[in-house]
Amino acid sequence: MTIRLIHLTDPHLTALDRPGKTTGIGKRALGALSWWRKRRHQHRPERLALTVAAIAAERPDAILVGGDLCQIGRAAEIAAARDWLEALSEHAPVLLVPGNHDIYQRDSIAPVLTAWRPWLGLHPTSADDDPLAPYPVEWRMPGVTVIGLNSAVPTAIGSARGRLGAGQITRLDRMLAAADRRADRVCVLIHHPPAPGLCHWRKALADAGRLTAVLLRHRVDFVLHGHLHDNRAAIVSGLRVFGTASASGCLPAEPASYRVFDLAVAPELPITMRLRQHRAEYGFVTLAEEHWLAAGSD
Protein backbone atom coordinates (compact mmCIF):
# COMPACT_ATOMS: atom_id res chain seq x y z
CA MET A 1 0.00 0.00 0.00
CA THR A 2 1.26 3.48 -0.90
CA ILE A 3 0.09 6.84 0.41
CA ARG A 4 0.46 9.80 -1.97
CA LEU A 5 0.88 13.25 -0.39
CA ILE A 6 1.00 16.54 -2.28
CA HIS A 7 2.67 19.66 -0.86
CA LEU A 8 1.19 22.95 -2.07
CA THR A 9 2.04 26.26 -0.39
CA ASP A 10 1.88 30.06 -0.51
CA PRO A 11 -0.87 30.44 -3.11
CA HIS A 12 -1.57 34.07 -2.07
CA LEU A 13 -4.90 33.59 -3.75
CA THR A 14 -6.93 36.60 -2.60
CA ALA A 15 -7.12 40.00 -4.32
CA LEU A 16 -7.11 43.37 -2.53
CA ASP A 17 -8.72 46.73 -3.08
CA ARG A 18 -6.40 49.61 -3.80
CA PRO A 19 -4.73 50.83 -0.58
CA GLY A 20 -7.11 53.13 1.23
CA LYS A 21 -9.92 53.05 3.74
CA THR A 22 -10.60 49.32 3.41
CA THR A 23 -7.00 48.33 4.15
CA GLY A 24 -6.63 50.60 7.18
CA ILE A 25 -3.31 52.03 8.29
CA GLY A 26 0.01 50.71 9.51
CA LYS A 27 1.10 47.17 8.64
CA ARG A 28 -2.01 46.34 6.59
CA ALA A 29 -1.69 49.50 4.50
CA LEU A 30 1.95 48.71 3.74
CA GLY A 31 1.06 45.10 2.93
CA ALA A 32 -1.67 46.21 0.54
CA LEU A 33 0.72 48.63 -1.13
CA SER A 34 3.27 45.82 -1.58
CA TRP A 35 0.59 43.65 -3.16
CA TRP A 36 -0.45 46.35 -5.63
CA ARG A 37 3.10 47.25 -6.56
CA LYS A 38 4.60 43.79 -6.74
CA ARG A 39 2.82 40.68 -5.46
CA ARG A 40 -0.25 40.87 -7.69
CA HIS A 41 2.08 40.39 -10.68
CA GLN A 42 3.98 37.54 -9.00
CA HIS A 43 0.96 35.47 -7.91
CA ARG A 44 -1.76 34.91 -10.48
CA PRO A 45 -5.09 33.07 -10.02
CA GLU A 46 -4.92 31.56 -13.50
CA ARG A 47 -1.55 29.98 -12.65
CA LEU A 48 -2.95 28.65 -9.38
CA ALA A 49 -5.85 27.10 -11.28
CA LEU A 50 -3.37 25.23 -13.50
CA THR A 51 -1.51 24.00 -10.42
CA VAL A 52 -4.69 22.68 -8.81
CA ALA A 53 -5.67 20.91 -12.03
CA ALA A 54 -2.24 19.26 -12.22
CA ILE A 55 -2.48 18.19 -8.58
CA ALA A 56 -5.93 16.68 -9.16
CA ALA A 57 -4.48 14.60 -12.01
CA GLU A 58 -1.92 13.12 -9.57
CA ARG A 59 -4.81 11.45 -7.67
CA PRO A 60 -3.43 12.24 -4.20
CA ASP A 61 -4.57 10.65 -0.96
CA ALA A 62 -4.07 13.98 0.83
CA ILE A 63 -3.07 17.55 0.01
CA LEU A 64 -0.86 19.39 2.52
CA VAL A 65 -1.20 23.18 2.26
CA GLY A 66 1.58 25.25 3.83
CA GLY A 67 -0.26 28.53 4.44
CA ASP A 68 -0.30 32.10 3.11
CA LEU A 69 -3.65 31.88 1.39
CA CYS A 70 -4.23 35.57 2.21
CA GLN A 71 -2.32 38.80 1.67
CA ILE A 72 -3.09 40.81 4.83
CA GLY A 73 -5.39 38.54 6.83
CA ARG A 74 -8.65 40.46 6.47
CA ALA A 75 -12.02 38.83 7.14
CA ALA A 76 -13.07 39.05 3.47
CA GLU A 77 -9.86 37.29 2.39
CA ILE A 78 -10.33 34.56 4.98
CA ALA A 79 -13.86 33.93 3.72
CA ALA A 80 -12.70 33.79 0.09
CA ALA A 81 -9.95 31.34 1.04
CA ARG A 82 -12.54 29.12 2.72
CA ASP A 83 -14.37 28.84 -0.63
CA TRP A 84 -11.09 27.88 -2.31
CA LEU A 85 -10.38 25.23 0.34
CA GLU A 86 -13.82 23.74 -0.17
CA ALA A 87 -13.14 23.44 -3.91
CA LEU A 88 -9.66 21.98 -3.33
CA SER A 89 -11.15 19.38 -0.97
CA GLU A 90 -13.14 17.92 -3.85
CA HIS A 91 -9.88 16.40 -5.11
CA ALA A 92 -8.57 14.97 -1.80
CA PRO A 93 -8.67 15.59 1.94
CA VAL A 94 -6.76 18.77 2.85
CA LEU A 95 -4.60 19.56 5.88
CA LEU A 96 -3.66 23.23 6.21
CA VAL A 97 -1.27 25.12 8.48
CA PRO A 98 -1.51 28.94 8.61
CA GLY A 99 1.12 31.30 7.26
CA ASN A 100 2.25 34.72 8.43
CA HIS A 101 0.05 36.44 5.82
CA ASP A 102 -2.97 34.59 7.24
CA ILE A 103 -2.32 35.40 10.94
CA TYR A 104 -1.33 38.90 9.86
CA GLN A 105 -2.57 40.75 12.94
CA ARG A 106 -4.36 39.79 16.17
CA ASP A 107 -7.78 40.26 14.63
CA SER A 108 -6.95 37.58 12.03
CA ILE A 109 -6.64 34.80 14.62
CA ALA A 110 -10.27 34.02 15.47
CA PRO A 111 -11.56 34.25 11.86
CA VAL A 112 -8.80 31.92 10.59
CA LEU A 113 -9.22 29.34 13.36
CA THR A 114 -12.99 29.41 12.92
CA ALA A 115 -13.50 29.64 9.13
CA TRP A 116 -10.71 27.21 8.23
CA ARG A 117 -11.28 24.76 11.09
CA PRO A 118 -12.34 21.81 8.86
CA TRP A 119 -8.90 21.89 7.17
CA LEU A 120 -6.73 22.88 10.14
CA GLY A 121 -7.24 19.53 11.88
CA LEU A 122 -8.46 21.29 15.05
CA HIS A 123 -10.94 19.91 17.53
CA PRO A 124 -14.47 21.33 17.12
CA THR A 125 -14.12 23.88 19.92
CA SER A 126 -14.33 27.65 19.93
CA ALA A 127 -11.43 29.64 18.52
CA ASP A 128 -8.68 30.61 20.97
CA ASP A 129 -7.02 34.01 21.26
CA ASP A 130 -3.65 32.25 21.13
CA PRO A 131 -3.02 30.80 17.62
CA LEU A 132 -0.42 28.38 19.03
CA ALA A 133 -2.60 26.88 21.75
CA PRO A 134 -4.36 24.17 19.65
CA TYR A 135 -1.13 22.94 18.05
CA PRO A 136 0.43 20.65 17.00
CA VAL A 137 -2.27 18.69 15.18
CA GLU A 138 -1.98 15.09 14.04
CA TRP A 139 -3.42 13.51 10.92
CA ARG A 140 -3.09 9.71 10.77
CA MET A 141 -3.37 7.45 7.76
CA PRO A 142 -2.43 3.75 7.57
CA GLY A 143 1.25 3.62 8.54
CA VAL A 144 1.70 7.39 8.06
CA THR A 145 1.44 10.29 10.50
CA VAL A 146 1.35 13.91 9.33
CA ILE A 147 1.91 16.53 12.04
CA GLY A 148 0.94 20.14 11.46
CA LEU A 149 2.69 22.96 13.34
CA ASN A 150 1.60 26.58 13.55
CA SER A 151 4.50 29.02 13.29
CA ALA A 152 2.29 31.99 12.33
CA VAL A 153 1.95 34.70 14.97
CA PRO A 154 1.23 38.45 14.61
CA THR A 155 4.45 40.42 14.13
CA ALA A 156 5.53 44.03 13.90
CA ILE A 157 5.89 46.00 10.67
CA GLY A 158 8.83 44.72 8.64
CA SER A 159 8.96 41.30 10.30
CA ALA A 160 7.88 38.00 8.76
CA ARG A 161 9.31 35.86 11.57
CA GLY A 162 7.59 32.86 13.03
CA ARG A 163 7.43 31.26 16.46
CA LEU A 164 6.24 27.92 17.84
CA GLY A 165 6.54 28.55 21.57
CA ALA A 166 7.73 26.19 24.28
CA GLY A 167 4.30 24.61 24.77
CA GLN A 168 3.88 23.60 21.13
CA ILE A 169 7.40 22.17 20.96
CA THR A 170 6.84 20.14 24.14
CA ARG A 171 3.56 18.77 22.80
CA LEU A 172 5.30 17.93 19.50
CA ASP A 173 7.93 15.92 21.39
CA ARG A 174 5.20 13.78 22.98
CA MET A 175 3.34 13.37 19.69
CA LEU A 176 6.48 12.23 17.87
CA ALA A 177 7.27 9.76 20.66
CA ALA A 178 3.86 8.15 20.12
CA ALA A 179 4.51 7.94 16.37
CA ASP A 180 7.88 6.32 17.14
CA ARG A 181 6.10 3.57 19.08
CA ARG A 182 3.78 2.94 16.14
CA ALA A 183 6.80 2.90 13.75
CA ASP A 184 4.87 5.19 11.41
CA ARG A 185 6.37 7.13 8.58
CA VAL A 186 6.27 10.75 9.72
CA CYS A 187 5.93 14.01 7.82
CA VAL A 188 5.94 17.41 9.58
CA LEU A 189 4.22 20.38 7.93
CA ILE A 190 5.11 23.98 8.90
CA HIS A 191 5.04 27.36 7.17
CA HIS A 192 8.46 28.75 8.19
CA PRO A 193 11.77 26.97 7.49
CA PRO A 194 12.27 24.61 10.45
CA ALA A 195 16.04 24.79 11.02
CA PRO A 196 18.50 27.62 11.78
CA GLY A 197 20.36 29.20 8.88
CA LEU A 198 17.85 28.36 6.15
CA CYS A 199 16.81 31.98 5.55
CA HIS A 200 17.42 35.60 6.56
CA TRP A 201 16.67 36.36 10.21
CA ARG A 202 13.76 38.66 9.23
CA LYS A 203 11.86 35.63 7.88
CA ALA A 204 13.22 32.98 10.22
CA LEU A 205 11.59 30.80 12.85
CA ALA A 206 12.61 32.25 16.22
CA ASP A 207 12.85 28.85 17.95
CA ALA A 208 14.17 26.85 15.00
CA GLY A 209 17.05 25.43 17.06
CA ARG A 210 14.69 23.97 19.67
CA LEU A 211 12.45 22.54 16.98
CA THR A 212 15.34 20.88 15.14
CA ALA A 213 16.59 19.28 18.36
CA VAL A 214 13.18 17.68 18.92
CA LEU A 215 12.83 16.52 15.31
CA LEU A 216 16.25 14.85 15.41
CA ARG A 217 15.32 12.85 18.54
CA HIS A 218 12.59 11.02 16.64
CA ARG A 219 11.84 9.10 13.44
CA VAL A 220 10.90 11.98 11.15
CA ASP A 221 11.13 11.16 7.46
CA PHE A 222 10.83 14.69 6.09
CA VAL A 223 9.70 18.22 6.92
CA LEU A 224 7.80 20.47 4.50
CA HIS A 225 7.78 24.27 4.57
CA GLY A 226 6.95 27.25 2.37
CA HIS A 227 7.34 30.98 3.11
CA LEU A 228 10.36 31.62 0.86
CA HIS A 229 8.65 31.21 -2.54
CA ASP A 230 11.38 29.05 -4.00
CA ASN A 231 12.25 25.37 -4.27
CA ARG A 232 14.96 24.15 -1.98
CA ALA A 233 16.07 20.92 -0.33
CA ALA A 234 18.37 20.51 2.65
CA ILE A 235 19.59 17.68 4.86
CA VAL A 236 20.06 18.87 8.45
CA SER A 237 21.98 16.24 10.44
CA GLY A 238 20.22 13.54 8.42
CA LEU A 239 16.78 15.20 8.49
CA ARG A 240 15.33 15.92 5.05
CA VAL A 241 13.78 19.39 4.68
CA PHE A 242 11.89 20.47 1.55
CA GLY A 243 10.74 24.00 0.75
CA THR A 244 8.31 24.45 -2.12
CA ALA A 245 7.73 27.52 -4.29
CA SER A 246 4.40 29.34 -4.47
CA ALA A 247 1.58 27.41 -6.14
CA SER A 248 0.60 30.60 -8.00
CA GLY A 249 4.08 31.87 -8.88
CA CYS A 250 4.52 33.55 -12.27
CA LEU A 251 8.04 34.98 -12.17
CA PRO A 252 10.60 33.17 -14.40
CA ALA A 253 12.82 32.60 -11.37
CA GLU A 254 9.94 31.37 -9.17
CA PRO A 255 7.38 29.48 -11.31
CA ALA A 256 4.48 27.66 -9.69
CA SER A 257 5.47 24.32 -8.15
CA TYR A 258 4.26 21.46 -6.00
CA ARG A 259 5.80 18.27 -4.62
CA VAL A 260 4.54 14.68 -4.77
CA PHE A 261 5.52 12.17 -2.06
CA ASP A 262 4.79 8.46 -2.40
CA LEU A 263 5.16 6.63 0.92
CA ALA A 264 4.98 2.85 0.84
CA VAL A 265 3.73 1.58 4.19
CA ALA A 266 6.34 -1.22 4.14
CA PRO A 267 9.44 0.35 5.77
CA GLU A 268 11.88 -1.58 3.58
CA LEU A 269 10.57 0.27 0.50
CA PRO A 270 11.80 3.78 -0.36
CA ILE A 271 9.97 7.07 -0.14
CA THR A 272 9.81 8.88 -3.47
CA MET A 273 9.67 12.65 -3.94
CA ARG A 274 8.98 14.40 -7.26
CA LEU A 275 9.22 18.19 -7.62
CA ARG A 276 6.82 19.43 -10.30
CA GLN A 277 7.27 22.93 -11.75
CA HIS A 278 5.32 24.89 -14.34
CA ARG A 279 7.03 25.66 -17.64
CA ALA A 280 5.12 27.92 -20.01
CA GLU A 281 5.86 25.84 -23.10
CA TYR A 282 5.24 22.41 -21.53
CA GLY A 283 2.96 22.80 -18.52
CA PHE A 284 4.14 21.01 -15.38
CA VAL A 285 7.36 19.00 -15.64
CA THR A 286 9.36 16.95 -13.14
CA LEU A 287 12.28 19.13 -12.09
CA ALA A 288 13.81 16.76 -9.52
CA GLU A 289 13.26 13.29 -8.10
CA GLU A 290 14.64 11.63 -4.95
CA HIS A 291 14.31 8.23 -3.29
CA TRP A 292 15.27 7.30 0.27
CA LEU A 293 14.45 4.75 2.97
CA ALA A 294 12.26 5.59 5.94
CA ALA A 295 13.93 7.11 9.01
CA GLY A 296 15.51 4.42 11.15
CA SER A 297 15.62 1.83 8.35
CA ASP A 298 18.77 -0.18 7.80
What pTM was computed for the model? 0.95
Q: In terms of Cα–Cα distance, which of 138, 197, 196, 131 is closest to 164? A: 131
Q: Which pLDDT score, from 0 to 100, does residue 127 have?
A: 55
Mean pLDDT estimate for the chain = 92
Map out the domains of the chain as residue ranges. 2-292
Residues forming a β-bridge with 262? 4, 272
Q: Which pLDDT score, from 0 to 100, does residue 87 have?
A: 98
Q: Which pLDDT score, from 0 to 100, does residue 123 have?
A: 73
Q: Which pLDDT score, from 0 to 100, does residue 253 have?
A: 85
Q: Which pLDDT score, from 0 to 100, does residue 242 have?
A: 98
pLDDT of 208 above 90? yes
Q: Which pLDDT score, from 0 to 100, does residue 238 have?
A: 93
Q: Which pLDDT score, from 0 to 100, does residue 29 have?
A: 86
What's the CATH number for 2-292? 3.60.21.10
When pLDDT is averaged across residues 171-195 and rounded to a whole number, the result is: 95
Q: Which pLDDT score, from 0 to 100, does residue 297 have?
A: 58
CA 219-221-225 angle, to 5 degrees, is 120
Instruction: Average the pLDDT over each of 18-27, 150-159, 182-191 and give the range with the smallest value.
Output: 18-27
DSSP three-state, residue 15: coil
Q: Which pLDDT score, from 0 to 100, does residue 269 have?
A: 86
Q: Which pLDDT score, from 0 to 100, does residue 298 have?
A: 47
pLDDT of 119 above 50? yes
pLDDT of 217 above 70? yes
